[in-house]
Chains A and B, each alone.
Chain A
Amino acid sequence: MFNSLKDIVRKSSIHVCLVNCGGCNGCDIEVVALLSPKYDLEQYGIYFHNNPREADVILVTGPVTDQWVDNLRRIYAKAPEPKIVVTLGACPQTGGVFGQEGGRVNAPVSDFIPVDAAVPGCPPRPDEILAAVLAVVPGAIAAKGRAQDKGED
């Protein structure tokens, strides 16, 4: 009873923290487009905070520059359980255009923190980001939350 109530609340209120690990800002602008009236992400119960302490979902963009390696791990550690990591664009997966010979990037992000979903494209369209977040996050949060609840019991 209590668990199912928790599931419903977690599905209908997803708090997102956007982390740009040294990318070109293109994916971040697509995320900003999601806040526009056309896409209006808050109607789906997704809220932006840019504060890992309040986040259920960490949206990672950018190819992880040297300065971000430790900070990314710290941000991930600060987010409360259950937490989901979604990467946006080509950079967090392969380094994208920054992953050139002799480049100083540390992609993929999955080397440092566990990644639950990846959205391809450079940048992905706002509807692709929305579709990915809505498809993966509610179920994943519920599943992780339940596993964690059992662990505490």
Chain B
Amino acid sequence: MTSLIWYLYDFARKAWVDGFLDAKSKEEILDKPDRFRDFPVVIKENCIGCGSCTASCPSPGGVRLVRDEDTAEAEGLIYPVIDTAACIRCGFCAEVCPSTPKTLECGENHFIQEEFNIIPSKRKYIIDDYLCIKCDKCVDACEVGAIEEIDGRNVVNQAKCISCGKCLDACPVKGAMKGVYVNNLEEQKKIIKMTVDTLEKYIESKKDDLDNLPDDKLYLAEIKFKPIYDKALTILNDEEVVYEVLEDAINRLNIRVIIWDSDECKKCQLCIPDCPTGAISFDSEKDTIVRDDNKCLRCSICYQSCPFGAINYFLAKFNLDVDKCGEKVIHISVKTSPLAKARRR
């Protein structure tokens, strides 16, 4: 009997009447979960123009690098642009972006929040939510209880953190716990740019080997780490910071290398109007095509427009390692693009 009364009472409630008269879903269906990756956000000023984002994008045309026109005061800014028609919201571009702070942000975890901390420290500890496996080893290791769980994610409370670095040692996942240097971002940017340029020059100097590379083989090379490290120290004289920035950047880098074969070039000039930044020009006096390295975005459009396969492009990845003699070396693996070869034949 009572259950029947409760049943009838249910019909008398306002919520039931409202639901009956206006049977629509509630606003909550518009809520996106915190971990949902929406279209990446671009912060133009941080971009170093390395092209990692375009190389990592699985969807052709999802992310492009563009360059503003030069003005009288300053050179044009290089920055990535997300095409929402092609972007698949995977967040790879945000993950590979080597600039610190990141140029591309996708999801919540890449924000570096400036909060007050009384401990004078060069580092700021943040947890990369993409990589964190929630093993809570850092929570156990932390002596002051600065790592808290908020909305199911482990977060470092900057007000409590004493920058002891114990969480960094405890973390079993490489890169999930980050000690980011926040003081000298401009210098860090310069170091990364210098590293990218050096590695690119090195690969370009191995042009002859790369030309004879079979399609299904990787070209493997090694370059000494010491000269790059020494050069980086001249930009920023802090061994700890320089080493970490270099290691982090090198292991994440994934760049396109455009190599020009001037013997194959028929000087048809088809690539000149196709270049989005005007980096290619024709020198009529010397009868050669000139490419401005500083303007080049490594977008590989010239490679696609060249009908003679004179422009070759390679995908390069890097890994910092120790060789047999105990010396630090950078392993380089280069993959060829099959199209240019097929055209030449």
Binding site for B on A (CB under 8 A): 38-40, 43-44, 90, 93-97, 99-102, 118, 120-122, 125-127, 130-131
Contact = CB atoms under 8 A, between A and B. Distances in A.
A38 B59 contact: no
24 contacts: A38-B25, A39-B25, A90-B85, A90-B86, A93-B85, A94-B59, A94-B85, A95-B86, A96-B86, A97-B88, A99-B61, A99-B86, A100-B60, A101-B60, A101-B304, A101-B339, A102-B339, A118-B85, A120-B84, A120-B85, A122-B88, A122-B89, A122-B90, A126-B29
Contact of A43 (B23, B30, B87): B23
B342 to A, nearest CB: 10
B230 interface: no
A105 to B, nearest CB: 11
Interface in B248-301: none
B108 interface: no
A38 B30 CA distance: 11
A151 B36 CA distance: 47
Contacts of B24: 43-44
B29 A94 contact: no
B174 interface: no
Nearest to A118: B85
Contacts of B30: 127, 131
Contacts of B83: 94
Question: Which 5 pairs from chain A and chain B are nearest by CB?
Answer: A122-B88, A93-B85, A94-B86, A120-B84, A97-B59
B14 interface: no
Given A95-B60, A101-B339, A122-B59, A43 B25 contact: yes
B60 A99 contact: yes
Interface string B4-33: 000000000000000000011100011010
A106 B36 CA distance: 30
A90 B88 contact: yes
Chain A binding surface SS class: loop
Given A90-B59, A93-B86, 15 more contacts: A94-B61, A95-B60, A96-B59, A96-B86, A97-B58, A99-B59, A99-B60, A99-B61, A99-B86, A100-B60, A120-B84, A121-B87, A125-B32, A127-B29, A127-B30
A96 B23 CA distance: 37
B82 to A, nearest CB: 10
Contacts of B85: 90, 93-94, 118, 120
A96 B339 CA distance: 21
Contacts of A95: 60, 86
A72 B36 CA distance: 33
A90 B25 contact: no
A118 B87 CA distance: 13
- Residue with the greatest number of chain B CB neighbours at <10 A, chosen from A40, A43, A96: A96
Nearest to B83: A94
Contacts of B84: 120-121
A54 to B, nearest CB: 24
Nearest to B86: A94
A99 B86 CA distance: 9
Contacts of A38: 25, 29
Nearest to A128: B30
B64 to A, nearest CB: 12
A100 B88 CA distance: 14
A101 B25 CA distance: 43
B87 A90 contact: yes
Contacts of A122: 59, 87-90
B29 A121 contact: no
B25 A40 contact: yes
B341 to A, nearest CB: 13
A26 B58 CA distance: 16
A38 B29 CA distance: 7
A131 to B, nearest CB: 8
Contacts of B59: 90, 94, 96-97, 99, 122
Contacts of A90: 59, 62, 85-88
A3 B34 CA distance: 46
Nearest to A89: B88
Nearest to B36: A125
- Residue with the greatest number of chain A CB neighbours at <10 A, chosen from B24, B59, B87: B59
